[in-house]
């Protein structure tokens, strides 16, 4: 039994990589019935394939007219379809939005790409780092020496999957109110640019310098940075507000008058060195004992083994274990209709009969496939 605020929402997902599966996971975790169209002969179903969890898989040969018709029939019954191919691929398969919306005028048709459906880069290959590079985000993240890719969190998952999920749900609300579906052109580069809104505001107000680690939130400020402890582990300190900064000085035992120049950017490099020396005198555990759960704005920097074991994460059950694999629990949380992991990552084609039957296909139609 599916559970969550999106229970009853019917979604067709065309299998892809990166932000597409992550978007499908988010929607499934909140209760949507997501049927994933996989290509015949593909692999899947490993417990470690976390972003594939909670869906049912139908394997089809999309070069077959019968399979294409099956996809269109699924779209007729769906609230949403989304895909992550390069522009034009779905059209060549006979599954583009023009065809789909004729069959189902209420359909929300989500398109996930790196560069978008239009523009000079639209047909070019790329990855997260490339998509955020043209937005100003990558230039702003890293060391003084070079930009550093922030995993694939900003483009794929932040600018891509989350914006696609947001767009899909907005489209569903509009379709239910008006009876009209539409196409969502979700580009990771657009989403990453949107995420940079505050920083473009900083630049416009004169608060932003283009050199890395010279600004408030990029590690330039000594009170908003990471520091290594005596045991080689790290802590994060974000004591921006004056009262939090005062508490930082109290907890660290710093009485150096130079630290009163908190917002003097010319003093930041020297103060960072001094603070680094202080933090290096104790272990991470010792700093946690002094600062954790206080208004210093402090947290230990944890690796992927440590994070699920942290008391706060354990108390909130932020991580769960499924089939021996530790993974993030569904988010966000709902008081009346909590989401859940709806099932394991599916084997490709595991639900051909089950899913199609549930979506209204006859046994004869299923057998013909």
Q: Is 284 exposed, middle or buried (0-12, 13-18, 19+ CB in 10 A)?
A: buried
Nearest to 111 by CA among 120, 31, 103, 101: 101
Q: Which of 49, 127, 295, 310 is catalytic?
A: 127
Please tell me the distance from the alpha carbon of residue 250 to that of residue 244, in angstroms, as a whole number: 10
Residue 127 annotated as catalytic: yes
- Compute the distance between CA of residue 250 and CA of residue 227 in angstroms, rounded to an integer: 17
CA distance 317 to 329: 7
Question: Contact 22/161 with Cβ under 8 angstroms?
Answer: yes
**Would you state the structure tokens that stand for residue 25, as one six-digit string?**
């996971």
Q: Please give, one letter per residue, the 3-state secondary structure of 175-193.
A: HHHHCCCEEEEEEHHHHHH
Reference 155, options 121, 194, 125, 184; nearest CA is: 194
Rounded to whole angstroms, the Cα distance separating 56 from 58 reads 7
Q: Which of 115, 117, 114 is nearest to 97 (CA)?
A: 117
Helix segments in 96-223, DSSP class H: 97-103, 128-133, 137-140, 163-178, 188-195, 197-204
Which tokens hold the place of 15? 């299998």
What is the rounded CA–CA span in Å between residue 126 and residue 114? Answer: 7
Q: Distance (Å, rounded) from C-alpha 282 to C-alpha 273?
A: 16
Active-site entry in 33, 38, 79, 156: 156
Q: How far apart are CA 34 and CA 105, in angstroms?
A: 20
List residues bridging with 80 in a β-sheet: 11, 108
Catalytic residues: 127, 156
């Amino acid at each position: 039994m599916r559970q969550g605020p999106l229970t009853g929402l019917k979604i067709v997902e065309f299998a892809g990589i990166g932000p597409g599966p992550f978007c499908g996971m988010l929607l499934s975790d909140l209760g949507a019935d997501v049927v994933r169209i996989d290509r015949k002969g593909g692999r899947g179903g490993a417990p470690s394939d976390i972003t594939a969890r909670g869906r049912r898989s139908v394997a089809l040969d999309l070069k077959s007219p019968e399979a294409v018709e099956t996809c269109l029939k699924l779209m007729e019954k769906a609230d949403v379809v989304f895909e992550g191919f390069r522009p034009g691929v779905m059209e060549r398969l006979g599954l583009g939005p023009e065809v789909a919306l004729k069959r189902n005028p209420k359909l929300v048709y989500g398109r996930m790409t790196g560069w978008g459906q239009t523009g000079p880069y639209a047909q070019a290959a790329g990855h997260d780092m490339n998509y955020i590079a043209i937005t100003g985000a990558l230039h702003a993240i890293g060391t003084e020496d070079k930009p550093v890719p922030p995993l694939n969190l900003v483009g794929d998952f932040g600018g891509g999957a989350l914006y696609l999920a947001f767009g899909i749900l907005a489209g569903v609300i509009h379709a239910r109110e008006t009876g009209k579906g539409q196409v969502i052109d979700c580009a990771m580069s657009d989403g990453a640019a949107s995420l940079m809104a505050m920083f473009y505001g900083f630049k416009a107000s004169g608060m932003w310098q283009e050199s890395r680690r010279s600004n408030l939130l990029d590690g330039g400020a000594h009170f908003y940075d990471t520091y290594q402890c005596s045991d080689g582990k790290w802590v994060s300190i974000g004591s921006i507000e004056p009262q939090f900064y005062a508490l930082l000085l109290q907890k660290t035992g710093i009485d150096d008058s130079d630290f009163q120049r908190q917002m003097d950017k010319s003093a930041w490099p020297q103060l960072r060195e001094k603070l680094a020396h202080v933090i290096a005198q104790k272990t991470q555990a010792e700093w946690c004992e002094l600062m954790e759960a206080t208004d210093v704005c402090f947290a230990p920097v944890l690796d992927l083994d440590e994070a699920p074991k942290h008391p706060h994460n354990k108390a909130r059950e932020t991580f769960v274990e499924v089939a021996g694999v530790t993974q993030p629990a569904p988010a966000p949380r709902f008081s009346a209709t909590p989401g859940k992991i709806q099932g394991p990552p599916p084997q490709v084609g595991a639900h051909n009969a089950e899913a199609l039957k549930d979506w209204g296909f006859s046994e004869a139609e299923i057998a013909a496939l």
